[in-house]
Amino acid sequence: MISIDGQGERAVAPFMTTHGYTFPSLVDQRMEVARKFGMRLVPTTYVLNREGMIVGAGYGPLDVAGPEFVQFLEALLSAS
């Protein structure tokens, strides 16, 4: 996860805790990483494969625990 929230870690840490996320997150207050990915809308989701290549992208809210996204990830993982 990459956050571009201007409040930085003060906003990200409570969000991560509230949602039970335990994976690492990057705070990109200056949008350096966002620009490298060509991000234009918030939220934007990119899915990277093990080689770091973008294999999926979408704009708008995304239910990462929803069955469609989980199936997509499972298919991606089984293909590698």
**Rounded CA separation 35/14 (Å):** 25
User: What's the confidence (pLDDT) of residue 71?
Assistant: 94
User: What's the confidence (pLDDT) of residue 23?
Assistant: 87
Span 47-68, pLDDT tens digits = 988 888 999 988 898 888 899 9
pLDDT beyond 90 at 77: no
Q: What is the DSSP letter of 31?
A: -
Q: Are 51 and 79 within 8 A, CB to CB?
A: no
Q: 48 pairs with which residues across the strands? A: 54
User: What's the confidence (pLDDT) of residue 80?
Assistant: 64
At 27, give phi and psi (nearest 5°): -100, 115
Q: 44 pairs with which residues across the strands? A: 59
State the amino acid at position 73 in one-letter form.
L
Span 14-42, pLDDT tens digits = 999 998 989 888 999 899 999 998 888 88
Assign 24 to helix, strand or coil: coil
